[in-house]
Structure 1
Amino acid sequence: MTNFTADYAPALVHPSPNHGKRAGGRKPDAIILHYTGMPGADQALNWLTTEESQVSSHYFVYEDGRVLQLVPEARRAWHAGKSAWAGEVDINSCSIGIEIANLGHPGGLPPFPQAQIDAVVKLCRDCGERWSIRPERVLAHSDVAPIRKVDPGENFPWQLLSEKGVGHWVEPAPVAGGRFFQLGESGQPIEALQSMLSFYGYDLEITGNFCDRTKGVVEAFQRHFRPARVDGIADFSTIDTLHRLLTSLPQYSSQHAS
């Protein structure tokens, strides 16, 4: 497919050869946000549109707010890799991938320009409305691929997106002292923590043991929802923020109603 009509009207079409059919005729019900993590935006765009790379995304957002569409939304872009969320392991087949030009962790986590964030908000709102994507299904690459991926990073302004109607967010509880759980611990409180993270959607086995995987998932959660400190330790701030996110979900409230 060398050309197509943009699904998002403001986008300019810049085709990538890297895409396929969505498995089982799936329609997108999630949006996955990435940063490019490369030295330059054009270098990243070239990588996403070169057959050799075997990677792509549906959209690419420059620092100045320009939006390119690389793959039609009806097609399966290759952006999430090995990932999982809420029991789904083929994230590419059920999602729209958005690459945001940013140096990321390799470049010291520079801020995302306001023009770029405004463009991401408009794009997410448009995709979300057209595909009826729920707020809690707007996710970070690090959410669906903990440990393996860390983008779009702890500096990404999720709260600002939420204020403009994109994504799921509650004000994080302040980082403070008190009881915490960390690598190597085990018992019922760890099982409860794992259960909450799993219910929210993270791919985590409920074992009651605070293992390396649990630490990585806690870090991913913190990176998105409690970015003031990303250390993989489940302190009061982390657990309270997670609990309030869960209780704000209709499906959680109905399942746990007395």
Structure 2
Amino acid sequence: MSSTPSAIADSLAPDRPAPVRAGTASGPLGLGLDAGGTQTRWALARPDGTLVARGEVGGFSALLLDTSAGRVVLAQTLQSLAAAVLSQAAPGALRGLQAGITGLGEPDGPAGRQLRALLAQQLGLAPTQIQCDSDIAQAWHALFRPGEGYLVYAGTGAIAAFIDEAGTLHRAGGRGPLLGDEGGGQWIAREALALVWRREDDSPGAWTDSRSRGICSTSSAAPTGRRRAPSCTAATAPRDAARSAGWRWPSRAPPRTTTPTRSPCCTARAASSPGCRWRWCAGWARARSAPPDASWTCIPRSKPACATRCRKTCPSPSINPTPPWPPRGGPPSRHEKRHEQRRKSLMKTKLLTLAAAALLAACATPTALQIDRTHVSENQDSRAQFLIIHYTVIDFEKSMKVLTTGGKVSAHYLVQETPSKVYQLVDENRRAWHGGVSYWGGATNLNSASIGIEIVNPGFTETPMGRVYAPYPQAQIDDVIKLVKEIVARHGIRSDRILGHNDIAPGRKQDPGPEFPWKQLADAGLIAWPDAAQVQIKQAIYQVAPVPDAVWFQKRLAQIGYQTPQTGILDTATREVISTFQMKYRPANFTGDMDAETAALLEVVTTPGGMLMKKPLPADNQPRSAY
């Protein structure tokens, strides 16, 4: 082992800035990470050990790298982790990470390199600033120096660990029986099946009730506080396997009061009389594998009304856990006794075979294409390059129905108005259908590269005085700002790519409308905003000088990113783009006219140094490939 948990802290600058509030923690910070299968804990600290912030996100382990579904879960968890951490640390404050990760073998092996690359991508660090190790090695380092002592960990599988003076980790146990695997999945399955066999020996047929009453309610094998579902699954696995193989599980033989179906002679009264008894037909008793069309036979001892035989179809004898005899009408015959012996032998053989098959199936892995994932490219970023904000025009119930059922429209998130609540409808790694025909800065088909947020809002109402747009509740806007911050942190979206639906489809769409408070997003540090002093100076100039012509407006709007016709005239399409620009930066008047204030705003927005931002987003200062 080449480093210890203090390696990152030692590399930090020695200065100790004064403590700051959460969300603005600056100076050199180190991040500690304890990743387990059910929970991941993190902590930000200064080089002197002062704790700045801490928190928890969902669990992950190195084993998630083995499957495609696991890698999706891992990506989502790391995105949540990055959002939580970066919301506490100031830009550039994070200098290193020391991570203890469950299931990680060699820190410099393929899994370790992949995890370092993924963590570096999400946290904005270089892979060399990240140290990954197993959680057991981390715990050992917290207690000993190399060569000093032994650590025994008892959890889901017991593990003993020792690190020698050369830094080599020696371990026993864990996922195997070297030291003990009590509490692990295999151990639970073995104990459950052993209990099944013991119960079956004591009470033949009792194991068929294990799903509802047996293992689930009586097993004490699982440790306190752990789930017992694996025991139930293991106990019913042989039964499920038998069903999938086409074997039937018949109930007991019909009681003597059952009325046969083939002949009226064997009535309930006759079947229960001393003159008539039930027995298996001889053909069934001779069968060893698949029997012929066997039947029950009513044998009259005297000759009353039962002069003919009455037949009732037998259940399949492939497996019959409960014996149907001796019948009350008399002792079993010789062939019945012989068949009972064969049945018990067959039952035990098949039960053991199925139990062994269930254990093997639990350990088996399907044959799949072997892919080498040891090499991770540094030339990548998130699929999500844009964030698009919409309003729904309809109420919450209708919005939820349209966005989740067959309306061919969806969004990643829906924000309810009253009470404000955020719903995730589409995974961020998948494409939602929210943008339609769209364009921004040369990029088209923005559904494939964006995350969409739908805000429940009625939009506008047509009145004699014109359109009247509905306001947004402040609580709803607060939740939208929090959500935008998290998404931007997860995906590294640039501030100039946080847009409204009308920005990417001017004229065709008006949402989120002039009532959406873009200035509050600027105050929250999410987007840039025109410098009011520069706007005032430019406006004074344009009030006495001629306002620029349509060619100037069209070029400046296209420079921002709008899809603008370059016709040189103030046509309808150009007016719609100007109106969209005004909705964002001058929502009180969005007529689409080329006036002095609009010209001043447009010049400031397109001039270097004209836009002010509270603090640049991390992605604003990073080189990114063209979309």
Shorter-chain TM-score tier: 0.7 to 0.9
Tell me the secondary structure at the aligned position of residue 448 of structure 2: helix
Question: 1:65: how far off?
Answer: 2.6
Quote the residue 2:383 is aligned against: 27
Count the aligned residue pairs.
225
Q: CA deviation at 1:26?
A: 7.2
* Corresponding position: 1:245 with 2:600: no
| 2:590 maps to amino acid | V
What CA deviation, in whole Å up to 9, does each residue of 1:182-228 have, x standing for no partner?
A: xxxxxx83111111100100001322121111011001111112111
Q: Supply the distance in 2 between the matched residues of 1:126 and 1:243 (Cα, whole angstroms).
A: 32
Map of 2:497 onto structure 1: 137
Task: Say which of 558, 572, 575 aligns to 1:212.
Answer: 572
Summarize deviations over 1:47-79 as a string: whole Å, max 9, x none. Answer: 11112x100001001113311111111111100
The runs of at least 4 consecutive aligned structure 1 residues that moved more than 4 Å come to 4-9, 171-177
In structure 2, the partner of 1:113 is 473
Q: Counterpart in 2 of 1:60?
A: 414
Larger Rg: 2
The residue aligned with 1:22 is: none
Deviation, 1:102, is 0.7
Q: Superposition pairs for residues 164-183 of structure 1, below 5 Å?
A: 164-170=524-530, 173=535, 178=543
3-state SS of 1:75 partner:
coil
**2: CA distance between counterparts of 1:114 and 1:46?**
25
Q: Is the 8 A contact 2:382 2:492 kept in 1?
A: no
* Structure 1 residue 171 displacement after superposition: 5.6
Structure 2 counterpart of 1:74? 429
Shift of the alpha carbon at 1:112? 0.9
Q: Residues 180 and 57 (structure 1 numbering): CA distance in 2 closer, same or farther, change over 3 Å?
A: farther
CA distance in structure 1 between the aligned counterparts of 2:461 and 2:396, rounded to whole angstroms: 14
* Residue matched to 1:12: none
Contact 2:387/2:498 (<8 A) preserved: yes
SS of the residue 2:550 aligns to = helix
Give 1:28 deviation, angstroms. Answer: 1.0
1:90 equivalent among 445, 463, 469 = 445
**SS state of the match for residue 74, structure 1?**
coil
The equivalent of 2:549 in structure 1 is: 189
Write the deviation string for residues 121-165 of structure 1: whole angstroms up to 9, x where unpaired.
011111111111111111111111111110110011110111012
Other-structure match for 2:563:
203
> Which residue is 1:127 aligned to?
487
- Partners of 1:180 and 1:234 within 8 A in 2: no
Residue 41 of structure 1, aligned match among 378, 391, 396: 396
Question: Gapped runs of 5+ residues in structure 1?
Answer: 10-24, 182-187, 252-258
Looking at structure 2, the residues matched to 165 and 120 of structure 1 have their Cα atoms a distance apart, in angstroms, of: 14
Residue 150 of structure 1 aligns to a residue in which SS? coil
Taking the aligned partners of 1:97 and 1:136, their CA distance within structure 2 comes to: 15
Counterpart secondary structure, 1:34: strand
Cα distance in 2 between the residues matched to 1:73 and 1:215? 34
Structure with more strand by fraction? 2
* More relative contact order, 1 or 2 (CA 8 Å, 6+ apart): 1
Summarize the Cα distance change of 1:180–1:113 in structure 2 as closer, same or farther, 3 Å threshold: farther
Q: CA deviation at 1:46?
A: 0.9
> Cα gap change, 1:232/1:155 in structure 2, threshold over 3 Å: closer, same or farther?
same
**Contact 1:138–1:168 under 8 Å retained in 2:** no
TM (normalized to structure 1)? 0.79
Quote the Cα distance in structure 2 between the aligned partners of 1:151 and 1:123. Answer: 18
Amino acid at match of 2:422: V
Question: d(CA) in 2 for partners of 1:26 and 1:90?
Answer: 17
Amino acid at match of 2:423: L
8 Å contact kept, 2:531–2:604: no
Distance 1:151 1:171, change over 3 A: farther
Amino acid at match of 1:102: N
What do residues 80-114 of structure 1 show as CA deviations (whole Å, max 9, x unaligned)?
11111111111111111000011111484222111
Q: Give the TM-score normalised by the residue count of structure 2.
A: 0.34
